[in-house]
Amino acid sequence: MDPISWTPNLSTIGFAALSYVTYKLARQAIIYLLPSKLARYNRTGNNWALVTGATDGIGFGFCQELCSRGFNVILHGRNAEKLAKRAQELNAAFPERNVDTLILDVIGVDESIDSVAQQVRDITGNNGKLSILINNVGGELRTSVTLDTLTFADVNETIDKNARFMTQITRVLLPLLSEGEGRSGLVLNVSSLSQWGLPYVSVYSATKGFVDTFTRALEAECNAEKRGVDVMALRVGQTKTPGYDVDSNLFVPLPRPLAKAGLDRVGCGEVIVWAYFWHWLQGISFEIMPRWILMRATVAAMMDMKRKGQEKALKRQ
């Protein structure tokens, strides 16, 4: 075959591929300009959101943002004193909103978690309704370590904190979320860049893969069953929080702007979405760069994190 006759075909293929990639990226970028549809879950003005891991970091950021957008909030955590202090802060900043707390350690939960449904009903009362569950609690206990240096308890705690508790509390609260007319509830699961499968945080990384798959499956199930509950996952990159002590910059936001960005994505039409525009831009590199380059960069970053952690620990001594 005459090789010259191939030239236009290859150009056409190249142009088509470029157009497709441009279209895909533009479609994703537009998401960051769309208005949030969060208000659809508070039509009565007396709706409640429950945020897990709400005493600090991104969880508390979600609580501040939800109150500022007219929701009553239930803060979940394990420390009664810290919960009371955070509830007071919200009451002072948003006196027109109702704020309550739910105390429960996420490590090693048992069947008693079923009683959370009644506890939530008691808080929301007859006139109110739980319409949002944000599964935020999570994080790694020990970063930058190899799997075999973790103990039996370390592995279980990481799985409990990031996957098991989230699944159980969603199971328990789904009936409450689906009460009412039309689109009555939203489950928002906090995922992570780590779901790509990162070294030195292998268990944590895998639990975030669980979060993504659980989100997709539950979203499809709620749709098929016409539960009136929307299910989404917010993918999060580096954010400066008490649990992740790094310097803040454009690519490393503070917790409240991250939470605000996450709530702004509600109703964008995607089941899993990067919460924050600049994290999305970073995420593109994971789509297009060869995995071996990314893994080299990740290993270097993990070693750097380990070194800085050790230096900080030495200074504290």
Ligand X SMILES: NC(=O)c1ccc[n+]([C@@H]2O[C@H](COP(=O)([O-])OP(=O)(O)OC[C@H]3O[C@@H](n4cnc5c(N)ncnc54)[C@H](OP(=O)(O)O)[C@@H]3O)[C@@H](O)[C@H]2O)c1
Stretch that binds ligand X, among 16-24, 93-101, 131-139, 307-315 (CB under 6 A): 131-139
Q: Which residues contact 292 (CB under 8 A, 6 or more apart)?
A: none
Q: Is 58 in the site for ligand X (CB under 6 A)?
A: yes
Residue 178 · residue 223 · CB < 8 Å: no
Q: What is the 3-state secondary structure (H, E, C) of 222-271?
A: HHHCCCCEEEEEEEECCCCECCECCCCECCECCHHHHHHHHHHCCCCCCC
Q: Is 57 in the site for ligand X (CB under 6 A)?
A: yes
| In the complex, least distance from residue 272 CB atom to ligand X, rounded to whole angstroms | 13
Q: Is 243 in the site for ligand X (CB under 6 A)?
A: yes
Q: Is 158 in the site for ligand X (CB under 6 A)?
A: no
Mask: binding to ligand X, 188-217, rule CB under 6 A, as x and -? --x-xx------------------------
**What's the CA dihedral at 57, 147, 218, 271 to 10 degrees?**
60
Nearest-angstrom CA–CA distance, 265 and 30: 11
| Tokens matching residue 132 | 């949002």
Distances (CA, A) of 307 to 5, 186, 205, 236: 58, 40, 21, 24
Residue 237 · residue 257 · CB < 8 Å: no
For ligand X, the closer of residues 185 and 255 by Cβ is 255
Q: Which of residues 212-241 bind ligand X (CB under 6 A)?
A: 236, 238-239, 241
Stretch that binds ligand X, among 6-14, 22-30, 77-85, 175-183 (CB under 6 A): 77-85
For ligand X, the closer of residues 196 and 244 by Cβ is 244
Q: Is 249 in the site for ligand X (CB under 6 A)?
A: no
| In the complex, least distance from residue 266 CB atom to ligand X, rounded to whole angstroms | 17
Q: Which segments of 162-201 does DSSP mark as H helices, in order?
A: 165-177
Mask: binding to ligand X, 160-189, rule CB under 6 A, as x and -? -x----------------------------
Nearest-angstrom CA–CA distance, 27 and 14: 20
Interface residue list for ligand X (CB under 6 A): 53-59, 77-79, 82, 105-107, 136-139, 161, 190, 192-193, 236, 238-239, 241-244, 255
